[in-house]
Amino acid sequence: MRIRFTKMQGAGNDFVVLDETRGTLGLTPAQYRFLGNRHFGVGADQILTVRPSPGPDIDFQYVIHNSDGGEVEQCGNGARCFMRFVRERGLTTKDAVRVQTLSGVIEPRMGEDGRVTVDMGAPIFETEKVPFDPAGLTPQHEGAWQTWHLALSTHAEEAIIAVAVLSMGNPHAVQVVGNVDTAPVATQGPLIEHHPRFPQRVNAGFMQIVSRSQIRLRVFERGAGETLACGTGACAAVVSGIRLGLLDPRVDVETRGGRLTIEWAGVGQPVFMTGPAVTVFEGDIEVPEQP
Ligand SMILES: N[C@H](CCC[C@H](N)C(=O)O)C(=O)O
């Protein structure tokens, strides 16, 4: 099957974007993996699909697959690229659209400066909704909130880390580190992603506090590995830092791929994320029936 795609990136988190507003392609997980493959396919962290409105007061449906082929609930950097895509392809003339995802409705808005701001909805803290299994753990109360001690066992070492656990529609475990450049992302990332206390796996954030209004962040993403930026991860890290009493309500997040700005006014309030969204190129590719 020959398909048309658009390659996009938001702060270096890169995507294959598919337009299914005029009919669905019916791709399989193996075909999504093929599209994400950096050697045999196009190459991307996630594959984003634009579908028609599912109902009243909603402009589009937004479907997200990680490069491992699994469908997931949310993608923040992808939401900004989604907004640019529907504008550039003439699928909307609006400056802001309401978009249905697996985890609810989000609202990306084009900014004057070409950056995009997304209302990502309110973070979710109930452990059963992350989901996270705290059985047998005692929450560590730091400031106004709690972290959890996770045991990470490798053949080489036993490590106990303290993570903040929350959902931005997708699950996140965030730890504070002294320096993201030397943080054990490659070794601890997979152990956290696949930790048995996260039945749906989890995105693992490593946050360095630079000041009350600036952090550095690396994220080992569920289903994709370390990416140059993670939008929901930036939201989760800033929300965690604010609840731990370490950050102010507006924070610049320096990722390896660029800067995101996150604003959150407190529990029950939505998180706003602002950042870049870039179209890299368009193309066609032959997708094998059985890749
Ligand atoms: N890996 C994530 C999905 C993509 C999130 C990230 N690319 C973002 O910008 O939020 C997950 O499995 O929940």
Which residue has the least CA distance to atom 11 on ligand 1?
A: 222
The minimum-distance atom of ligand 1 relative to the CA of 70 is 12
- The structural domains of the chain, ordered by start, are 2-121+277-286 (3.10.310.10), 127-269 (3.10.310.10)
Terminal Cα-to-Cα distance of the chain (whole angstroms): 11
Any binding-site annotation on 46? Answer: yes
Q: 44 with 67: CB under 8 angstroms? A: yes
Q: Mean pLDDT across the chain, nearest whole number?
A: 96
Phi, psi dihedrals of residue 156, rounded to the nearest 5°: -90, -30
Q: Which of 230, 238, 271, 274, when mutated, tests ligand 1's pocket best, judged by the most ligand atoms within 8 Å of its CB? A: 230
Prediction pTM value: 0.97
Q: Where does the pLDDT of residue 139 fall: very low under 50, low under 70, confident under 90, or very high at 90 and above?
A: confident
What tens digit of pLDDT does each residue of 145-192 get? 789 999 998 777 788 999 999 999 999 999 999 999 999 999 999 999
The pLDDT of residue 155: 73
Residue 81 bears catalytic tag: no
Q: What percent of the chain has pLDDT over 70?
A: 99
The minimum-distance atom of ligand 1 relative to the CA of 170 is 13
ipTM of this model?
A: 0.98
Nearest Cα residue to 234 out of 86, 66, 75, 44: 75
Phi, psi dihedrals of residue 62, rounded to the nearest 5°: -125, 115
The catalytic position among 11, 47, 63, 230 is 230
C-alpha 68 to ligand 1 mean position (Å): 12
C-alpha 210 to ligand 1 mean position (Å): 24
